[in-house]
Structure 1
Amino acid sequence: MPNRTRWSLNSPKSLLMFLIPPLILVFIWRFLPRTDVFPIYSNENTSLPPLYPDLQDEERRLPQHNLDLPYPEGRSAKMLRFGNQIWGLGLNNQLQETLLNTYIAYLAQRTYVFTPFTWDLNNRPFVPIAPDGHLVGSPYKVRPARVPLTAYINSPTTGSPWPPGDPAPRSVSVEWWDRVCPESERLHINTAVVNAQIGVDFDKDEGIDIVEKWAKYIRSIEHRCINILFATPRIIDFGGDYKRHCEWLSTFASFEGWNRLPFLPDQFNPPSDSASRAQYALNRCWIEIDDVVKRLDKLREEHPDADLNNIFVSTNGPTEWLEELKKRLWEKGWQSVVTSRDLELSWREQGVDNAVDMELAARGEVFLGNGYSSFSSTIVRIRMVRGLPPKNTRIW
């Protein structure tokens, strides 16, 4: 009889996969128009999501928040703030940009200014969750407007020291920036103007070339407080169900972020004609239960040494869809099938449940991700950094 309730993370014979079932997704692109100091909100009401005021307080007490430190920190520190950083998107969309911005600041030999994971810029602790939003199944009707970034990562990006011997200055919080870099002392840089000035060609330049051009330009500036801004704020709304989103992506997009690493086994190789390409891309983005069952059977054949028996499905899909998926997989002989909805998390863990899922997936013997997903992309990066074999990191 298959095990329908228990699953061990410590089992080395586990297949972890990520998929996006039919549900509503809303993508809203926005960019920070300004910086503000927000109060610490304290919330011990477990009927609402946690706000982690203790972590925000720890961020405020970082030792580099000290004007008396010697250069390259202290009162002479050269800081780089990305006022155009995205908000209102999911964790991994924001995290990818945060890591890129950290890298640019590092190359430019400047202090990176980190910001919270942000859903809303208004001075309020919570924002409503749309009833058809992508948090289908959430136990709450609201979400935090901001979550301290240290609730998700603890690294040089959030102020931890760089490796011994690295002269790079430690990152500081946006609140420290607001304190030591008043508006009168900020140099605002318009990206459209600078891109033309330094010869950035998005149609021809490789990504690393664009990054290095920007880092070189920023290194040439002596101004202490630099704030990067777009020419104009913009809002782009991609609303609707995920299938429609996949159909839209299939017309032009390839895989996302680290899902495109050339040494991974499941590369994006579409046909040349547009109609066939669109269908190829759609088949790799939009996944039905039959597709899941067939692909997992094939993975068992392709990874005989792994002796795969257990499945963890990271998902926010509807319960009915998941129950049908479980039933079909049990019928195929999988010993244990567990989904995100089956995890018993504490109140504080529930607030970062997406990060919990990512850690589980990063530890899997085999991971199967969605190539169009930033969530999958981050998991791929974690697995590669940890030295897991690329052949065990698969894409639909």
Structure 2
Amino acid sequence: MLPSSLREKDGLARPGLYLRFKTRRYLVLAVIAFAVVTLFGRAFLAWFGTVPRVFRDAYPPPLPPPPAITSPLPPLYENYHHTELSLPQHHWDQRRPSKDEKFLFVAGHSRGCGWGNAMQELLLNAYMAYKAGRSLVFANYTWNDNGSPYSEYNGKKIPSLIPYSTIIQGPIVGAPFPYGDPTPLAVHRDYFDHVCPKKLTFIREDISEIIDFKNSAKEIIDGWHDKLADVDEPCVQTAPNSGQIFNFDVFGDPRAMIDIWPELSASPILTHFGWSPLVELAFDTNRDMFLPSLSIAPYLTSLPYTTNADRYAVIPGLMALHLRRGDFAGHCEHLAGYPAEYNAFSSFPDLPDPFVPPRGPDADENRAAFRAHCYPTLEQIVTRVRELRRTHAARGLRKLYIMTNADEGFLRELREALWRDQDWQMISSSRDLVLNWEQRHVAQAVDMLVGQRAQVFVGNGWSTLTSNVVMMRMANRIRPDSTRFW
């Protein structure tokens, strides 16, 4: 016979078993009670829409949402500006130039344009001062010079002025010329204004009237050289309102650089051109995207400065693509209306992809053919990369870097399409760069450095960013068949 209770079995009490039974029963009752209260509470809230005051007062009020995190203001690069003013060739105790000081300042330099345009102009102005035997007077990369520290671009604040030394290094921004070169060192505009309260001013038309081919960089520089050869005045500038000496008409003409290139490419302006320590640090930080895996190459920022060609050698296995999107959708349509040829620095005769603008009877077909080179579709990009990867210059490619201002959605689709089409060890883009607060505003220069060093570079012949990359590759004698266009 089974025991009639948990207390009785063979006439013995079982207290432990009895307590476990009681505990289990109370636990079941507690769970039931909790469920009833929860259901009652939900029903109460559903009926009355709020918690009764008596219950609200028993708990502290909820915390307010955290404040929105606003983006910091852009950097103003005060330390770089201070360093430029502290160059040893600046003799601030002087009130007038010494007998061996002669200056040239292009006061009508570009404003409100992209870094690619400003860089091309700065290089030619520097070469013009070099040929004239005068100190180049450099200012800032200028968005506007109305006195405001910040400007607006695409709804975002940007620095109005950026010291050039945040982007480049070398003789252009006051570093010494190669040993034995007697050219006087470049100086900052503030020093020029300090020792030159009175200046001899020329206007652009003083020279352009005697030039046969007005877009020829060589004729322009030779004209200014001859004009300045007879000038003893140490303080010379162009009129601020006379505009650029080298403008889009020059840089957009495919013939403009051909005659001057042998001299320009051999000058210290290019042979001793360098990217700034800020830009090189960004490259070093992100070098796993570009260099071969387990590379033992030294960091750029650890090397003493030598020459352009020695410092920025080709990176084996790297292909870099420059894909200009955004405003280029409309710009390409505008260019197709001319129709425009490639920029001057993208038109070297040795390059394998010369562009002849389509001029057939069907305007729509002409524009479509033009867009394939200026604003290619995703499918056209993938096809072109596949085609170029089969060339001899592209042997051994493993990493792909995309220099672009495209949005994240387009980049995601492109990356997936490139992965499916070809075998890559890594595909990365400008959007993947890890940049600090100051580097974000000079990021285009980081892309230029990568494109300059790529084993194979594919660019947009109408973009000044591409043109500058091509110029550096040609100056460093990188094989021409590795520089391609869409």
TM-score by structure 2 length? 0.64
In structure 1, the partner of 2:262 is: none
The residue correspondences of 1:209-224 to structure 2 (distance < 5 A) are 209-224=219-234
Q: Distance in 2 between matches of 1:308 and 1:214?
A: 46
Deviations 1:101-155 (A, max 9, x none): 1111111111110011111112222112223xxxxxxxxx211111110011101
Write the distance in 1 (CA, Å) between the matches of 2:327 and 2:470: 25
Question: Aligned with 1:347: secondary structure?
Answer: coil
- CA shift for structure 1 position 166: 0.7
Contact 1:87 1:118 in 2 (8 A): yes
The 3 A distance-change label for structure 1 pair 146 and 323 is: same
Tell me the CA shift for residue 273 of structure 1. 5.1
Q: Which residue identity does 1:344 align to in structure 2?
A: V
Equivalent position of 1:282 in the other structure: 371
Q: Is structure 2 residue 459 aligned with structure 1 residue 369? A: yes
Q: CA RMSD in A?
A: 2.7
Gaps of 5+ in 2: 1-69, 249-325
Mapped to 1, the partners of 2:457 and 2:87 lie a distance apart of: 36
CA contact (8 A) 1:107 1:215 kept: yes
* 3-state secondary structure, aligned to 1:80: strand
Report the secondary structure of 2:383's partner residue: helix
Post-superposition offset of 1:327: 1.2
Structure 1 partner of 2:75: 50
What SS does the corresponding residue of 2:130 show, helix, strand or coil? Answer: helix
Partner of residue 84, structure 2: 59
1:284-307 CA distance string (max 9 Å, x none)? 112111111000000111247622
Moved more, 60-69 or 105-114: 60-69
Counterpart in the other structure of 1:168: 183
1:230-288 Cα deviation digits (max 9, x unpaired) = 7656999xxx9422211221214211131111111111233565857655433311211
Q: Which residue of 1 aligns with 2:443?
A: 353
Q: Does 1:378 align with 2:465?
A: no
Q: Name the CA distance, whole Å, in 2 between partners of 1:159 and 1:56.
A: 12
Q: Judge which range, 210-219 or 266-275, deviates more.
A: 266-275
Is 1:177 matched with 2:200?
A: no
Aligned residue for 1:9?
none
- Aligned residue identity for 1:307: G
- Report the secondary structure of 1:113's partner residue: strand
Change (3 A) 1:68 1:127: closer
The alpha carbon displacement at 1:351 in A equals 2.6
What SS class does the counterpart of residue 299 from structure 1 fall into? Answer: helix
Displacement after TM superposition at 1:360 (Å): 1.5
Task: Name the residue aligned to 2:396.
Answer: 307
Distance (whole Å) between structure 1 residues aligned to residue 111 and residue 478 of structure 2: 31
* 1:110-259 to 2 correspondences below 5 Å: 110-131=134-155, 141-182=156-197, 185-196=198-209, 199-202=210-213, 206-229=216-239, 232=242, 241-250=327-336, 251-259=338-346
Letter in 2 for 1:49: P
What amino acid maps onto 1:97 in structure 2? E
Q: Secondary structure at the match of 2:168?
A: coil
The alignment-based identity, stated in percent, is 33
Distance 1:130 1:159 in 2: 33
Letter in 2 for 1:367: F
Query: For residues 213 and 169 of structure 1, what CA distance do their matches in structure 2 show?
Result: 21
Task: Give how far 1:339 is off.
Answer: 1.0
Does residue 1:344 correspond to 2:437, yes or no? no
Match of 1:82 among 98, 106, 111: 106
Secondary structure in 2 matching 1:264: coil
Indicate the residue corresponding to 2:407 in structure 1.
318
Rate the CA distance shift 1:164–1:290 in 2: closer, same or farther, 3 A. same
Kept after mapping to 2: 8 A contact 1:124/1:145:
yes
Paired residues of 2:141 and 2:163 also in contact (CA < 8 A): yes
Counterpart CA distance in 2 for 1:267 and 1:213 is: 30
**8 Å CA contact 2:104, 2:129 repeated in 1:** yes
Relative distance call for 1:334 and 1:346 in structure 2 (3 A) is farther
- Structure 1 CA distance for aligned equivalents of residues 428 and 235 of structure 2: 49
- The structure in which a higher percent of residues are helix is 2
1:75 deviation in Å? 5.5
Shift of 1:202: 3.6
Tell me, yes or no, if the aligned pair for 1:65 and 1:74 is still in contact at 8 Å. no
Cα distance, 1:209–1:129 mapped onto 2, change above 3 Å: closer
Q: Does 1:387 align with 2:477?
A: yes
DSSP-derived class of the 1:227 partner? strand
8 Å contact kept, 1:192–1:231: no
What is the TM-score when the length of structure 1 is the normalising length? 0.78
**Distance in 2 (alpha carbons) for counterparts of 1:120 and 1:206:** 28
* CA deviations over 1:313-371 (Å, ceiling 9, x no partner): 01111111111111111111342221111111222322321111111222211110100
Kindly indicate whether structure 1 or structure 2 has the higher relative contact order, using CA contacts under 8 Å at least 6 residues apart: 1
Aligned mates of 1:309, 1:56 — CA distance in 2: 40
Q: How big is the shift at 1:66?
A: 1.7
Q: How many residues align?
A: 333
Q: Which has the larger radius of gyration?
A: 2
Quote the offset at 1:46 in angstroms.
7.4
CA distance in 1, matches of 2:239, 2:393: 51
CA distance in 1 between partners of 2:230 and 2:217 (Å)? 20
